[in-house]
Structure 1
């Protein structure tokens, strides 16, 4: 019988289950063929003894810690909060723990977190942060998967079909009668696929695009002040706004209320993301909804596949992004 004055050991579990310590280790690490009867006996012994494997010791032996690092800008933003929660749920169902890191939009903070995660010997990393110039990702031996972020050709990127979403939003505004829709987005570049969809639709309609950038890392109330100032500047010229996140769309609606612009008669507004939190707060907002649960599930599947097979670095192993379909939700704002 084990000594109950100390934590039970793997040897205690083996004795209770009537198997060898090696068999217990194989069950814990899911290695090799084992009968269901043996797995059940070991599981029952673990439960009876309340045995907790020493994760640090296992990592030092080169075994898995069954821990994954998740890096996001901040869970205070609804989209990233729901991404973090969804990834954690998907990992937990597979017996993995999550170490959550908020980069707060700072490149140096993300680099420090990545170094800490390596030090904690996590099995892999899922990154949804939006910082640039982090070369460590391209060289790390850790399996890495990103959500809505391009890091390196060999790092799998799971994202919504942003270009199609940009097209859907812009087409809806034009179909509702708008002829001067402005795009509000975080950064304007060829990598911004929501912007690309917006520009494509306007080009096909012979309409000149108007793009305003307000970085989503800008803290409140400065972010709202910049959005209001840009709307004041272009008020006379625009009749619709496509905001590439719902919080920005909400700020546009607040400006419209203050400016006496009737929505949707004088100004049509559509956002992007469609998180549960914002849908509850603003159920009337038209938006392009991302499949958040599917994004999380796909990212976890991709990462665990890399953990099982080992990452492959280099441009020769470039992998195309996994793009998941979006859903157009029309509300009272269009």
Structure 2
């Protein structure tokens, strides 16, 4: 049986309006009355209707977050930081996992709007610009520039690609490869590829580019992609992978083939995630914590009617470790 606000009022012996004022902390109420109402709520296991409350006060204190895949460590760690900063400012996070499915993403946006969220952070981007602009809610995107009018936060992808490729070239690699997600997707991460190609061409070094299909977060496909790379180009001696997860798969494949890392093959990843296996991985570290903090901050600024930067590009850092 669902306990209502009327049930609480009858138990305490006050009006429904009084209980509502206690719930919303409005007007003067004695501490004794507040205590009695809260004790009755706990005893009867009363769960407030957050949607109804948000409608009454025109604010839900809930932020929506749509990401491509929560199982990917980069998005998992980013979500952790965003939840921390949102909660610190009195907000809760409603998490949606799109899996890069356009239909699913649209359904989640409809759900978030129906749930009266105060704003949305988008880490997934499968729909048209027109559809995003029609959301009519404060919006911030992560590592995706959907429109010139929608604020986005990103690491310096081009600089990161340059640092990774320059390192491989300094280590005298003669044939290098770039592994990435699908380059047809409209993502700022494509700048890592652009920087790789420019650096390789500039030094006249032979290079290979291999990419996943549109479902870029399926780890079994990482294994196939890396295996194909070494089958087709056994003389590869340097690899820049666009994520640490891809880079770890390169290291595993080298071990399987009996190739020594870093003596025969040097490997650089991208992200700077913290999971087992990355302790010795050379990588381009994104400021994941700061990206999460700013995503929440910029969204809250929009909610408050304040101006926020349309473009926020944060510096990356080369962490050279044992794989180079």
Q: TM-score range by the shorter chain?
A: 0.7 to 0.9
| 1:6 Cα deviation from its structure 2 partner | 8.5
- Give the TM-score of the pair, scaled to structure 2: 0.84
**Secondary structure of 1:82's partner?**
helix
Q: Any unmatched runs of 5+ in structure 1?
A: 27-37, 312-316
Q: CA deviation at 1:199?
A: 2.1
How many Å separate the matches in 2 of 1:134 and 1:14?
A: 42
Question: Residue 323 of structure 2 corresponds to which residue in structure 1?
Answer: 333
Gaps of 5+ in 2: 1-8, 42-46
Change (3 A) 1:7 1:45: closer
Residue in 2 aligned with 1:231? 230
Q: Deviations for 1:238-282, whole angstroms, at most 9, x for unmatched residues?
A: 2100000011111111111111211111100010011122xx433
Q: Deviations over 1:64-120 (max 9, x none)?
A: 000011111121110011111111111000110111000112111111101111111
CA 1:257–1:176: 2 relative to 1, 3 Å? same
| Alignment of structure 1 residues 1-334 onto 2, 5 Å | 4-5=11-12, 11-12=18-19, 24-25=25-26, 49-50=37-38, 54-61=49-56, 63-133=58-128, 135-188=130-183, 191=188, 192-215=190-213, 217=216, 219-236=218-235, 238-277=236-275, 280-309=276-305, 320-334=310-324
Shift of the 103–44 alpha-carbon distance from structure 1 to 2, 3 Å rule, reads farther
Tell me if the contact between 2:158 and 2:194 (Cα under 8 Å) persists in the aligned partners. yes
- Is the 2:151–2:310 contact (alpha carbons within 8 Å) kept by the matching residues of 1? yes
* Root mean square deviation, CA, Å: 3.1
> Separation in 2 of the partners of 1:42 and 1:200?
70
Residue by residue, what CA displacement relative to the aligned partner does 1:122-169 show, whole Å, maximum 9, x if unpaired?
101001124354642122111110111121111111011111111111
Match of 2:5 in 1: none
Q: When the two structures are aligned, how many residues end up with a matched partner?
A: 306
How far did 1:4 drift?
4.7
CA change 1:164–1:88 in 2 (3 A) is same
